Amino acid sequence: MAEVEEVTEGCNLPVLRRNQENEDEWPLAEILSVKDISGRKLFYVHYIDFNKRLDEWVTHDRLDLKKIQFPKKEAKTPTKNGLPGSRPSSPERDVRKTLDLQPATPSSGKTLPIPVQITLRFNLSKEREAIPGSPDQPLSSSSCVQPNHRSTKRKVEVVSPATPIPAVSETTQASVFPQNGSARRAVAAQPGRKRKSNCLGTDEDSQDSSDGIPSAPRMTGSLVSDRSHDDIVTRMKNIECIELGRHRLKPWYFSPYPQELTALPVVYLCEFCLKYVKSLKCLQRHLMKCDLRHPPGNEIYRKGTISFFEIDGRKNKSYSQNLCLLAKCFLDHKTLYYDTDPFLFYVMTEYDSKGFHIVGYFSKEKESTEDYNVACILTLPPYQRRGYGKLLIEFSYELSKVEGKTGTPEKPLSDLGLLSYRSYWSQTILEILMNLKLENGERPQITINEISEITSIKKEDVISTLQYLNLINYYKVNSPFRGP
């Protein structure tokens, strides 16, 4: 049995925690950091295969030292001919180099897209119920969407449950929730200021010069953070508690607030300008000077006590930066390092006698080449599970309708974001299908394009939602022309 002093960073061992059913369990966890406070050791653990927001500091009595797994020492890279930095060659590598040097043989024929017939089935009694999503289902590229091919003509039939479905020889399945396949723009790297390219780590379309200094200002942006540059510091929560108005929030993830604030038990934020201060007395002095009672920008929507404000990231840079710092506490895979110029922020508020209190927000690029209508979206924890997330999503699509475009959120989505979007897409599409009426006594028909035009939901998201609901089948057709 190992001793407590032997537990170091990188060790894996079971840790006692209490689950949602108020039962004790011992999931495997990784030790990320160790600190000593007044002679008492504390261990920061990440529960493997669990969401990072569950990470926490624990004492040694919650560790199962009998099953500890010490980190493996990295083996030194073997050298070739005794020269440092070189690796021994392998037959496989030599063969791969030979194959890469061979010229590609041009294809003599052209591959034509296969016509696809789509049969749509649904059960009204079942689909009226809310359909929750699964946050752990991976995003994958849809095999039925081929951006480099000609668009195939699709036929969608709404079939009653009693209608028999014709037998076909082969059926091809579409994958669930397609991820965008095009590379996002990489961002200029500066010391102390980084922007991640995309979740796959591609660096196409970079505007960086060879020495790391940006050659031109970036006009577009992506808020997706790839995880390849994570270190121990960014994997750990650095803020203990945030006081925002009448709420105290416990952050879920790391946020790049100034380092002097990370040692404080509570960080105080002005709920109107989101300025952060280190003490309650500083906050009281600030409130005597702050004349804001609503987010800066234009109020573009109001109904009852709910209002939406549009904020330009270039004109209101200080507020936008403070909003991003707050949002980063609850968004793990998104990042924004003070570069707010290419973005618009839409902040949803609740009004009372004291002013307009922030509920949530979403951001979007001013000019998106990939039809993104949302870059980041967040409902603050005190307002979650009250329908505000779906309202934010619906508002983003209403803006797309005004622009006359179809839109999609920037991928990957967080687990809670995926649940919200699946719920919104499912409800919106099912309402359209259930409201279809008979025409001349024939079965109602609607196409994927028509659903996309009505809802402003991108076709890929419509297809993936229908597939997720098990309402769509794909059939291979031998000929583009069907017989009588």
Residues taking part in catalysis: 410
Give the CA distances from residue 316 to residues 123, 166, 297, 342, 379, in Å, rounded to whole numbers and listed in that order. Answer: 49, 59, 8, 12, 21
How would you label 318-347 residue by residue, b for 16+ Cβ within 10 Å and e otherwise? Answer: ebbbbbbbbbbbbbbbbbbbebbbbbbbbb
Return the closest-CA partner of residue 180 out of 53, 6, 369. Answer: 369
Task: Sort residue 440 into left (φ over 0), alpha (ψ -120 to 50) or beta.
Answer: left
Q: List the alpha helices (DSSP H) in 404-447.
A: 415-434
Q: Do 116 and 474 touch, CB atoms closer than 8 A?
A: yes
H runs (alpha helix) in 136-244? none
**Cβ proximity of 256 and 325 under 8 Å:** yes
Q: How far is CA 325 from the centre of its chain?
A: 17
Q: Strand runs (DSSP E) across 15-72, as ranges?
A: 17-18, 24-25, 28-37, 40-47, 56-59
Q: What is the dihedral of CA 225, 228, 232, 235, to 10 degrees?
A: 30
* Nearest alpha carbon to residue 403 among 347, 461, 342, 456: 456
